Amino acid sequence: MPLDARTNSLGFAKAPADTRVVVAMSGGVDSSVVAAELASEGYDVVGVTLQLYDHGAALAKKGACCAGRDIHDARRVAEAMGFPHYVLDYENAFREAVIDEFADSYLGGATPVPCIRCNERVKFRDLLETAKDLDADCMATGHYIRREAGPFGPELHRATDPVRDQSYFLFSTTAEQLDYLRFPLGHLETKAQTRALAAKHGLPVVDKPDSQDICFVPNGDYAAVIEKLRPGAGEPGKIVHVDGRVLGRHDGVIRYTIGQRRGLGIGGLADPLYVVRLEADTRRVVVGPKSELATRIVTVAEVNWLGDAPFASRDAWTLGVKVRSTKPPVEAVVRPTGPTSATVELAVPEEGVSPGQACVFYAPQGSRVFGGGWIVRR
């Protein structure tokens, strides 16, 4: 957003034509609208699409991003709007920074969120540096989140549309990155407004469906992908009740997640059982009643703090906290245990909290995002 009347819509004190902006284009309607809007405002737009995984596999999968079909769609939008478009081969970087950790986390009994790592390590680190190499003044994306001017610099805020808000997936955006990034869609009230803008510009992706699930996991079958990446990962083991009883056997810890109820293969019991713990070292899936899922104390690491005062400058922070993307923040007390670590005490116990997930911090009132960390223990 402009800081005052002397700046353009991206916050620079010069004409749009003199402002170069790299737009990260996934081939979907959101980033395409961002690029088209900025081009129509007269900005020096450069579209960049990342090839993240094999074209042959990608072309056969609908609803992904950064795949062969999507690269083609991004190029068509650039041609229609008259700005240059580049495709960068990031396959190796994506595998090393995202896919390998995804597989290893599942093998370790965690529940990873690879989309966050992709934003953190590929789009907002590697691609951002590429944008600077192209002498861009900033980089814009189609994420639904807001960047607002604050008294101490740019602040991260939730999107106006709570249904589309992507702050959970962008908590690790650093203050330095935020200074360079722009999110032109964050103020829109509905996705329908985005599609209306696509129609206004006559974009070929106006009716394209949103991307679904994790882009490199066909049909949501995590176990099949992990077994392909790590042969032998699906070793069988025991299904054990929290009281020590052996209830059955399973075909691999990687096929289970904390909170899972269906598909355990241990029917015939009076009360429903849920996965409450995964013990990768002993290949045990531990199950128990729903009450065993409730968690109040969560340990987090790799904290990215976006507050004005240093994170460890207080003994405790009273914040709103999200431990999964689909639920609203709950009140919590965050106690720093170091510059990038903390214990989080939830006012209301949460069910199904798992290591590998994100714990995102919010202002108790209002829309500001204060960063967050990665859950390492519950």
Identify residue 84 by its one-letter amino acid code: P
Tokens of 8: 């353009």
Rounded distance between C-alpha atoms, residue 355 and residue 90, angstroms: 28
Q: Which residues contact 293 (CB under 8 A, 6 or more apart)?
A: 258, 259, 274, 276, 351, 352, 353
Token pair of 171, please? 């908590």
**What is the per-residue burial (b if ≥16 Cβ within 10 Å, else e) of 228-243?**
ebeeebbeebebbbee
Catalytic residue of the set 65, 66, 215, 359: 215
Distances (CA, A) of 134 to 84, 86, 124, 180: 12, 11, 15, 13
- The residue length of the chain stands at 378
Task: Check: CB of residue 85 under 8 Å from CB of residue 74.
Answer: yes
Report CA dihedral (17, 18, 23, 28) to the nearest 10 degrees: -10
Cα angle, residue 308 at apex, residues 143 and 167 outer, rounded to 5°: 20
CA-nearest of 116, 117, 140 to 128 is 140
Do the beta carbons of residue 35 and residue 81 sit within 8 Å? yes
How many whole angstroms separate alpha carbon 103 and alpha carbon 254? Answer: 9
Question: Tokens at residue 181, please?
Answer: 């990034």
| Active-site residue flag, 138 | no
359 is catalytic: no
Query: How many other β-carbons are positioned within 10 Å of the β-carbon of residue 18?
Result: 12
Q: Which of 66, 118, 138, 359 is catalytic?
A: 118
Q: How many CB atoms lie within 10 A of CB 24?
A: 27
Q: Which residues are catalytic?
A: 118, 215
